[in-house]
């Protein structure tokens, strides 16, 4: 007993291209999806592309696989509005068709906002832009104290866990700008531009840790309803500060 | 719990994706617009529960009804349980995030005995009174079903109602009865349970049956407390699998689960009749789907999931009458879509080169067969109906196809077993290794590896061996050591299941109502995840048995009397006790019984009906 389902255009019914081409897909990863890792995301996309019948180009080796290149991984617990994946297709499909076929197979929390032919490489990304909202019931004037902490040009040396053990890094040099402002509902909004990409990358969690260690805020883990933060990555910038796309 | 609070808690535990929800394919309804809410609980981790075909099926069957909303619930891992405790949070359903106390029904699927402690652990986390007798009018109705419900007695005190048999039709009927009684204003907990037991076949309400005991501790009788409820509850089956409900939309996990693949059921039941096998008896009569239906369903699941592996589910896949036609139809679209076809539970005697070639695209380098016993004598006792020539032919097919790794499953502790039978296990494995070197078409330049995996025998209800005693713990351990001393081939690798776990499983499998006290005490002492070796603690179990004054040996190590009233005699699963006794006698005589297709053995299950079964039709 099978029900009727809207028929998508099968990839086999599309016209083969003389040369494979690459599309960039921009999607979000919000709400419940912030709890899934980058590995989970990669696995999910492999299945989404199959069920959306996207005409992926497959590598020609012994173990053929689709060519999928993701942008900068999003840490677990961070939402993203401008996540990117580059896909290589070998049959004709328009950006609009690709967006529609993908969105039919995705929940709203991972909806595709844009599909285009990219003129850049993910290696051109130098900065990520973030919005951090935090609430600490007991903290006095947290926005001013946060601004004071990050306005200082002195190094902010923190311990970073790497494959070769813990090492000290100065996160100061990886912050392009950071501004906190109090909100009407008592929360604080921080807008920050942090190093992102292959040469230098600063997880926004370091900003949180720095505030915990140096300002003593967000340290209450017993009352998560009163002391919390959330992080949203809104986009990327290139070296000259222009918007990456 | 608001989203900010949820974020802080979930980012503090391992694998927060287990608790996030938001999967593609989940069912969301307006809770104010439905008449009954059903929390479908899987008493183990998300990764295991999400892979379960039965849960998918019943989730779909319930959600087909506009006025019923079925949601999923899994047992939170221990770190999450600690976090819930620290923040005073109750167990919640995945879809809505609402606590289980908001639901009309809380249903548990009972897949394995060692999951029982998780059932109680989940009720406890949900803040639902453990004992059915302690629940108030507006507490959820706690119901259970699944393979272990064929002997639900150890869990009796905690459940309001059990589903006996296949739930696709029965479960929605139960919820519909609830809705109609609520609508009519005739609902009370007691009235509903009585009405369900009276009118819905397959419903077992344990509180409506009194049990009395003999002086020796065995059961004297089961007595229904009402005249109008059945004296024995007959299991439900879905008669026509082609027309049965089928979940074509799958809830897609984001995190990796134990079975991320397309699974399609091809048949229920098994024609073979191995005498230790509970599933082989309780799923009778054998019923098949037609190849076209299976093919369409598989294609639809592929379209809705994008999984790159397809597996056919059945107790014995090579016994499916349409296997050749089906695999041809499947390969016509799985190959161009680069989907691997895998076939589980292959019998060595029906494993052919043709079948092997169809599944050879799978990357797995090993292939598994289950001779179950080392000697022909003992294989006849258990009615395996497998000869050494069959196994050797099958392994040669595997070797010629380039496989070098063979896994062989065995059991120890079968009735009539001697040390000579056990010594035959590694000997048989050794001959499988030798076969490699005799084969001129073997993969060149490679070595064979044969793994023997031996599990202790656990007597299970509704099998010809249901009356048998399990070996004592000491004897199980001695046999494990003995088998090891018999392994003389370095290419044979030996491993075995944990005997202590198997003993507890035997107690729970053949237990009666008095074991509810054991489970309650185990819950009080914080038992959970006993199916996981890192949590199972035999000594703690023994301490619980001691504390409540129950001897586990009474259930595990005692041969039950042939005329004794068995705890599961309240259930009629289709096969008759007379048939089971005949099979037991034949086992002791070393005589085999032909499979259902060769000759009907008169097991009794055919009276339940069923389309495309191999049973002789009733006159």
Cβ distance of A32 and B243 shorter than 8 Å: no
Cβ distance of B20 and A36 shorter than 8 Å: yes
Mean pLDDT of A205-224: 91
Task: Give yes or no for B243 touching A (CB within 8 A).
Answer: yes
Per-residue H/E/C for B86-100: HCCCCCECCCCCCEH
Task: Give yes or no for B10 touching A (CB within 8 A).
Answer: yes
Give the pLDDT band (50/70/90) at residue B387. Answer: very high
Mean pLDDT of B27-42: 97
Would you state the pLDDT for residue B362? 52
ipTM of the complex: 0.90
Cβ distance of A40 and B255 shorter than 8 Å: yes
Give the pLDDT band (50/70/90) at residue B402. Answer: confident
- In chain B, which residues fall in CATH 3.40.50.280? 3-234
Domains of chain A, by residue range, sit at 14-123, 125-237
**CB-based contacts of B47, cutoff 8 Å, min separation 6:** B18, B253, B255, B256, B257, B258
Contacts across the A-B interface (CB distance below 8 Å)? 102
Start-end of H helices in B462-576 = 473-486, 499-509, 516-524, 538-548, 552-556
Task: Give yes or no for B246 touching A (CB within 8 A).
Answer: yes
Would you state the pLDDT for residue A152? 82
Report how far residue B417's alpha carbon sits from residue B187's, in angstroms, rounded to the nearest whole number.
55
**Distance from B420 to chain A by nearest Cα, in Å?**
47
Fold of A14-123: Alpha-Beta Plaits (3.30.70)
Task: Give yes or no for A10 touching B (CB within 8 A).
Answer: no
Question: Which residue of B5, B299, B306 is the best one to mutate when testing the A interface, meaning the one whose CB has the most A CBs within 10 A?
Answer: B306
Share of chain A above pLDDT 90, in %: 74
* B16 → chain A, closest CA residue: A35
Would you state the pLDDT for residue B618? 47
User: Which tokens hold the place of B294?
Assistant: 């299976």
Would you state the pLDDT for residue A181? 95
Give the pLDDT band (50/70/90) at residue A155. Answer: confident
Task: Give yes or no for A51 touching B (CB within 8 A).
Answer: yes
Q: State pLDDT tens for residues A119-154.
A: 999 999 999 999 999 999 877 778 999 999 998 888
**Distance from B245 to chain A by nearest Cα, in Å?**
7
Q: How many CA atoms lie within 13 A of B423 on its CB side?
A: 5
Angle of CA points B64, B66, B70, to nearest 5°: 65
DSSP conformation class of A90: E
Report how far residue B478's alpha carbon sits from residue B483's, in angstroms, rounded to the nearest whole number.
9
Would you state the pLDDT for residue B87? 93
Give the pLDDT band (50/70/90) at residue A65. Answer: confident
Would strands B262-265 and B309-313 be described as parallel, antiparallel, or unpaired? parallel
- In DSSP terms, B233 is beta-bridged to B571
Give the pLDDT band (50/70/90) at residue B243. Answer: very high
Task: Give yes or no for B22 touching A (CB within 8 A).
Answer: yes
B233 burial via Cβ count (<10 Å: 0-12, 13-18, 19+): buried
CATH of A125-237, one of 3.40.50.720, 3.40.50.300, 3.30.70.3190, 1.10.390.10: 3.30.70.3190
- Return the higher-pLDDT residue of B325 and A4: B325
DSSP conformation class of A62: S
A231 SS3 class: strand
- Judge whether residue B567 has pLDDT over 90: yes
**Distance from A228 to chain B by nearest Cα, in Å?**
6
Mean pLDDT of B497-503: 97
In this structure, the number of other CB atoms found within 10 A of the CB of residue A19 comes to 6
- Judge whether residue B619 has pLDDT over 50: no
Cβ distance of B2 and A225 shorter than 8 Å: yes
Which CATH number describes the domain made up of B261-360+589-619? 3.30.750.210
Q: How many CA atoms lie within 13 A of B70 on its CB side?
A: 21
Cβ distance of B20 and A33 shorter than 8 Å: yes
Q: State pLDDT tens for residues B346-360.
A: 888 888 888 888 876
Which residues in chain B are closer than 8 Å to A204, comparing Cβ atoms?
none
Cβ distance of A224 and B8 shorter than 8 Å: yes
Would you state the pLDDT for residue B364? 62
Describe the crossing of helices B388-400 and B419-438 by its angle, rounded to 10 degrees: 30
Which CATH number describes the domain made up of B3-234? 3.40.50.280
**Distance from A133 to chain B by nearest Cα, in Å?**
10
Task: Give yes or no for A65 touching B (CB within 8 A).
Answer: no
Would you state the pLDDT for residue B363? 54
Q: State pLDDT tens for residues B91-139.
A: 999 999 999 999 999 999 999 999 999 999 999 999 999 999 999 999 9
Task: Give yes or no for A36 touching B (CB within 8 A).
Answer: yes
Give the pLDDT band (50/70/90) at residue B218. Answer: very high
Site of tokens 């609430």:
A135
Q: Count the helix, strand and coil residues of chain A and give each as a percent rounded to the nearest 5.
A: 25, 35, 40
Residues A244, A125: contact at Cβ < 8 Å?
yes
Mean pLDDT of A27-38: 97
Q: What pTM value is reported for the model? A: 0.94
Would you state the pLDDT for residue B586? 98
Nearest by CB: A1 against B245, B302, B306: B245
Nearest by CB: A107 against B5, B24, B337: B24
Report how far residue B261's alpha carbon sits from residue B50's, in angstroms, rounded to the nearest whole number.
11
Site of tokens 């840490």:
A75
Site of tokens 């296949």:
B166
Residues B336, A55: contact at Cβ < 8 Å?
no
Q: What does the buried/exposed string (b/e) look like for B77-97 if buried means 16 or more CB atoms within 10 Å of the residue's CB?
A: bbebbebbeebebbbbbbbbe
Would you state the pLDDT for residue B346? 81
Range of weakest confidence among A141-145, B238-242, B423-427: A141-145
* E strand or H helix at A176: strand A175-182
- Return the higher-pLDDT residue of B541 and B365: B541
Task: Give yes or no for B542 touching A (CB within 8 A).
Answer: no
Would you state the pLDDT for residue A1? 41
Cβ distance of B17 and A37 shorter than 8 Å: yes
B534 burial via Cβ count (<10 Å: 0-12, 13-18, 19+): exposed
Report how far residue B317's alpha carbon sits from residue B339's, in angstroms, rounded to the nearest whole number.
19
Residues B5, B97: contact at Cβ < 8 Å?
no
Task: Give yes or no for A221 touching B (CB within 8 A).
Answer: yes
- In DSSP terms, B407 is beta-bridged to B368, B451
In this structure, the number of other CB atoms found within 10 A of the CB of residue A33 comes to 26
- Judge whether residue A2 has pLDDT over 50: no
Q: What does the buried/exposed string (b/e) look like for B247-265 if buried means 16 or more CB atoms within 10 Å of the residue's CB?
A: bbbbbbbbbebebbbbbbb
Q: State pLDDT tens for residues B517-527.
A: 999 999 999 99
Report how far residue B419's alpha carbon sits from residue B229's, in angstroms, rounded to the nearest whole number.
49
Cβ distance of A225 and B4 shorter than 8 Å: yes
Would you state the pLDDT for residue A81? 98
Which residues in chain B are closer than 8 Å to A49, comparing Cβ atoms?
306
Angle of CA points B36, B42, B45, to nearest 5°: 140
User: Which tokens hold the place of A145?
Assistant: 């104290």
Task: Give yes or no for B17 touching A (CB within 8 A).
Answer: yes
Would you state the pLDDT for residue A6? 54
Give the pLDDT band (50/70/90) at residue A3. Answer: very low
Tell me the pLDDT of chain A averaged across its residues.
Answer: 92
Tell me the pLDDT of chain B averaged across its residues.
Answer: 95
Q: State pLDDT tens for residues B289-348.
A: 999 999 999 999 999 999 999 999 999 988 999 999 999 999 999 988 989 888 877 888
* B333 → chain A, closest CA residue: A12
Mean pLDDT of A21-31: 97
Share of chain A above pLDDT 70, in %: 97
């Amino acid at each position: 007993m099978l029900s009727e389902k809207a028929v998508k255009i099968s990839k086999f019914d599309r016209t083969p291209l003389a040369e494979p081409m690459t599309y960039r897909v921009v999607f979000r990863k919000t709400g419940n999806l912030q709890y899934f890792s980058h590995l989970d995301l990669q696995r999910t996309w492999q299945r989404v592309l199959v069920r959306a019948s996207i005409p992926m180009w497959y590598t020609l080796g012994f173990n053929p696989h689709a060519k999928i290149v993701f942008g900068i991984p999003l840490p677990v617990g961070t939402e993203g509005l401008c996540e990117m994946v580059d896909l290589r297709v070998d049959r004709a499909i328009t950006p609009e068709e690709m967006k529609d076929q993908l969105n039919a197979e995705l929940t709203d929390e991972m909806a595709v906002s844009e599909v285009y032919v990219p003129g850049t490489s993910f290696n051109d990304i130098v900065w990520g832009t973030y919005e951090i909202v935090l609430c600490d019931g007991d903290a006095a004037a947290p926005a001013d104290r946060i601004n004071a902490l990050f306005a200082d040009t002195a190094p902010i040396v923190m311990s970073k866990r790497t494959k070769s053990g813990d090492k000290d890094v100065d996160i100061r040099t990886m912050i392009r700008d950071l501004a906190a402002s109090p909100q009407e509902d008592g929360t604080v909004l921080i807008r920050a531009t942090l190093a992102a990409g292959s040469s230098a990358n600063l997880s926004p969690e370091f900003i949180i840790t720095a505030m915990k260690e140096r300002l003593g805020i967000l340290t209450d883990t017993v009352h998560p309803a009163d002391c919390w933060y959330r992080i949203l990555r809104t986009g990327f910038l290139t070296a000259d500060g222009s918007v990456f796309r | 719990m608001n989203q900010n609070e949820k974020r802080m808690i979930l980012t503090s535990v391992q694998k927060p994706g287990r608790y996030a929800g938001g999967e593609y394919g989940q069912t969301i309804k307006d809770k104010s617009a439905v008449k009954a809410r059903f929390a479908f609980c899987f008493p183990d981790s998300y990764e295991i529960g999400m892979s379960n075909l039965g849960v998918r099926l019943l989730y779909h069957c319930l959600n087909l009804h506009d006025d019923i909303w079925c949601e999923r619930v899994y047992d939170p891992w221990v770190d999450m349980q600690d976090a819930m405790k620290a923040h005073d949070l109750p167990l919640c359903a995945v879809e809505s995030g609402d606590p289980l106390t908001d639901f009309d029904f809380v249903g548990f699927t009972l897949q394995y005995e060692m999951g029982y402690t998780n059932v109680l652990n989940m009720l406890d986390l949900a803040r639902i009174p453990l004992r059915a007798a302690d629940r108030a009018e507006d507490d959820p109705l706690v119901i259970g079903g699944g393979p272990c419900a064929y002997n639900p007695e150890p869990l009796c005190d905690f459940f309001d109602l059990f589903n006996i048999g296949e739930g696709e039709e029965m479960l929605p009927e139960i919820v519909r009865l609830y809705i109609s009684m609520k609508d009519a204003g005739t609902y009370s907990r007691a009235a509903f349970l009585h009405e369900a037991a009276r009118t819905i076949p397959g419903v077992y309400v344990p509180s409506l049956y009194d049990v009395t005991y003999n002086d020796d501790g065995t059961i004297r009788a089961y007595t229904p407390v009402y005249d109008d409820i059945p004296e024995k509850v007959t299991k439900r089956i879905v008669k026509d699998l082609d027309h049965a409900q089928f979940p074509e939309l799958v809830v897609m996990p984001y995190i990796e689960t134990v079975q991320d693949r397309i699974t399609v059921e091809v048949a229920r039941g098994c024609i073979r009749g191995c005498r230790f096998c509970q599933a082989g008896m309780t799923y009778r009569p054998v019923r098949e789907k037609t190849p076209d239906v299976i093919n369409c369903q598989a294609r639809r699941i592929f379209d809705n999931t994008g999984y790159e592996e397809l597996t056919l589910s059945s107790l014995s896949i090579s016994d499916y009458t349409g296997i050749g036609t089906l695999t041809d139809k499947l390969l016509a679209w799985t190959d161009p879509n680069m989907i691997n076809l895998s076939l589980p539970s292959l019998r060595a005697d029906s494993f052919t080169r043709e079948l092997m070639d169809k599944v050879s695209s799978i990357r797995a380098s090993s292939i598994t067969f289950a001779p179950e016993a080392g000697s022909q004598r003992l294989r006849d006792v258990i009615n395996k109906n497998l000869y050494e020539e069959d196994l050797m032919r099958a392994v040669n097919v595997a070797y010629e196809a380039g496989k070098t790794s063979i896994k062989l499953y065995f059991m120890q502790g079968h009735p009539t077993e001697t040390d000579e039978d056990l010594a035959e296990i590694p000997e048989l494995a050794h001959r499988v290794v030798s076969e490699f070197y005799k084969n001129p078409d073997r993969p060149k330049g490679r070595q064979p590896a044969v793994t023997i995996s031996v599990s202790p025998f656990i007597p299970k209800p509704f099998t010809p061996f249901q009356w048998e005693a399990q070996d004592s713990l000491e004897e199980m351990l001695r046999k494990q050591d003995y088998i090891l001393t018999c392994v003389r081939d370095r290419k044979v690798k030996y491993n075995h299941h944990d005997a202590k776990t198997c003993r507890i499983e035997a107690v729970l499998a053949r237990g009666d109502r008095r074991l509810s006290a054991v489970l309650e005490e185990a819950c009080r002492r914080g038992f959970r995840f006993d199916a996981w070796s890192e949590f199972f603690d035999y000594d703690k179990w023994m301490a619980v048995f001691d504390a409540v004054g129950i001897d586990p040996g009474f259930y595990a190590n005692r041969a039950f009397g042939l005329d004794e009233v068995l705890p599961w005699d309240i259930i009629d699963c289709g096969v008759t006790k007379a048939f089971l006794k005949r099979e037991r006698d034949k086992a002791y005589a070393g005589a085999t019984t032909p499979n259902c297709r060769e000759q009907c053995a008169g097991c009794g299950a055919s009276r339940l009906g069923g389309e495309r079964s191999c049973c002789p039709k009733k006159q």
